[in-house]
Chain A
Amino acid sequence: MMRTVKQQTAGALWPPEGGDIVTFQSFGGFSSGVLKEVRWGLVWRDFVLDDGRVIPEHKIVGCPEPPAWRSPDAVSQEEREEAEGRLASMAEDGLDPRSREQPFWAELNQYLAYTYLRFKNRTAQANVQP
């Protein structure tokens, strides 16, 4: 039986499992879908739905506050290069990065947040060094 997000939060089960129905804030309101998998991006977790939409965890109804995140230092060079390779490949394939809730849009959001944190930390460290 599919669980809904209310049942998940009532039972303090987070994140939901594949096959669960999740509700999320979408453009112009709320939307729902069947969760396929939860996977880590460069900064936060993305919820991949079985129809291909990719929703950041903090948009999912019932997400704990504050959401889980990764420090940019926890991202390996290999992982960063893989993400950059996927972005370059999607750009070359002519995908529109502005199509909301699609993989390119999701990757681009994560990459910009990651880049900000990566270099913001560098600047902060440089500023405290004598």
Chain B
Amino acid sequence: MTRTDEDAEKQQLWRSLSEAGLVDITLDDFPERVKEAKHAVMGRLSELLEMSNQLQERRSVAHSLGTLRKLEATLRDAAVSQGESGSETPGR
């Protein structure tokens, strides 16, 4: 791959991440981004469940799904506790 190809690939990646709103996630967008990631992981997991020879990837994808569910719950709890206290999160 030439330097120009690498630069073009990098540009494409950043454009792609930026369009997906993932280069700089705003605080309000976190729950939605986690939800989207979860859907993508679940889509892949359902594909893998139809195959019998992808056990390691299935395990790995299921683990990622578990992590996203935990993060989703954490974000929900943080939003609830912030709503109850009515205070701003430091550093925001």
A residues near B (Cβ < 8 Å) are 27, 43, 58-59, 66-69, 77, 80-81, 84, 87-88, 91, 96-102, 108-109, 111-113, 115-117, 119-120, 122-123, 126
Contact = CB atoms under 8 A, between A and B. Distances in A.
A115 B30 contact: no
A97 B75 contact: yes
Nearest to B59: A77
Given A84-B64, A97-B30, A98-B30, A119 B22 contact: no
A91 B73 CA distance: 9
A115 B13 contact: no
Given A84-B63, A100-B91, A102-B91, A116 B11 contact: no
A66 B11 contact: yes
A101 B17 CA distance: 19
A116 B20 contact: yes
B88 to A, nearest CB: 10
Interface in B20-52: 20, 22-25, 27, 30, 33-34, 36-37, 40-41, 43-44, 47
